[in-house]
Amino acid sequence: MATIAEAALASSSTDKTMSIPLVGFGTAEFPFTSTHETAKESVVHAIKLGYRHFDTAAVYQSEQPVGEAIAEALRQGLIKSRHELFITSKLWIANGYRHLVLSALQNTLKNLGLEYLDLYLIHFPVSLRPGSGFPCEKEDIAAMDYESVWEAMEECQLLGLTKSIGVSNFSCKKLQNLLATAKIPPAVNQVEMNPVWQQKKLREFCEEKGIHITAYSPLGGKGTPWGTNLVMDSQLLKEIATTNGKTVAQVCLRWLYEQRVSVVVKSYNKERMKENLEIFDWKLSTQDLHKIEQIPQVRGNPAEYFVSKEGPFKSIEELWDGEV
């Protein structure tokens, strides 16, 4: 079984130091209709392999199978306690209103069969009409009141329903606005990051503010509406992989690890699940790192589905505050 490196998380309401495993197992399968049993079996197998961080979300419809997998892993003795796991879920933005946050988290915990989360994230810096799913209609998009929604997130942490709170898909400017009023700063910002979208500006900002970055779509999210083939089909990354005797996926994950971020990687293929953990006993050379730094940058997930002439963000540039 693999041993996975961890990183400390700042910004807790207690004095206790939390750690996040640096390789997490993702459960987002688009369209969000992966079979319940497939997701459950994959999470159980991931626990057998050594994964301890599991990333889900209300909108993924994977919370219940993740919870059932945790219960099954306990029954099989794969883990002795739920405390051995790090569970992340996300507030769906149709519940992105102060009065809906607590009940949304309570429903997530009910789905998972857990008493608490390790990390609860605001999924996106925009709200939708309550009851809206994904994809959404343009007329459902609304501005999020970051201050009041974050106050509700803070209350959830103080109630012990989640050990830490954070955000996802927040730009430097949006984080700065949030930090201006936050009593508990976000512990994590989960964002798209891979060799083709390296997020240098955001990484520098988050490091300065003590916010840990978790990378989603570390392999480009191929096969999703927001994904790109540019990562896995990169000739440069293929050459680096061949030189090191590794896969392109392992090169990407190792590069992210060397940037001191955690990753959430999704695969239900048993061999790839195992390979994705085999990144800790080797290093990329200085030449490899320099070559990767030169890769042309393209955001794979511009999230144009949240852009609307009538909504809070009228262009992709406005949505990402110029970080495109």
Looking at the annotation, which residues are catalytic? 60
Return the C-alpha torsion angle 274, 248, 233, 321, nearest 10: 90
Q: Compute the distance between CA of residue 141 and CA of residue 148 in angstroms, rounded to an integer.
A: 18
219, 186 Cβ separation under 8 angstroms:
no
Q: Compute the distance between CA of residue 27 and CA of residue 34 in angstroms, rounded to an integer.
A: 9
Outline where the chain has alpha helix (H): 36-49, 63-76, 98-112, 146-158, 172-179, 200-209, 235-244, 248-258, 270-275, 286-293, 316-319
List residues forming the annotated binding site for substrate: 123
Burial 273-285 (b: 16+ CB within 10 A, else e): bbbbbebeeeebe
Per the listing, tokens 């009228």 go with 314
Phi, then psi, of 95 in degrees rounded to 5 = -105, 20
Left if phi > 0, otherwise alpha if psi is -120 to 50, otherwise beta: which for 215?
beta
List residues forming the annotated binding site: 123
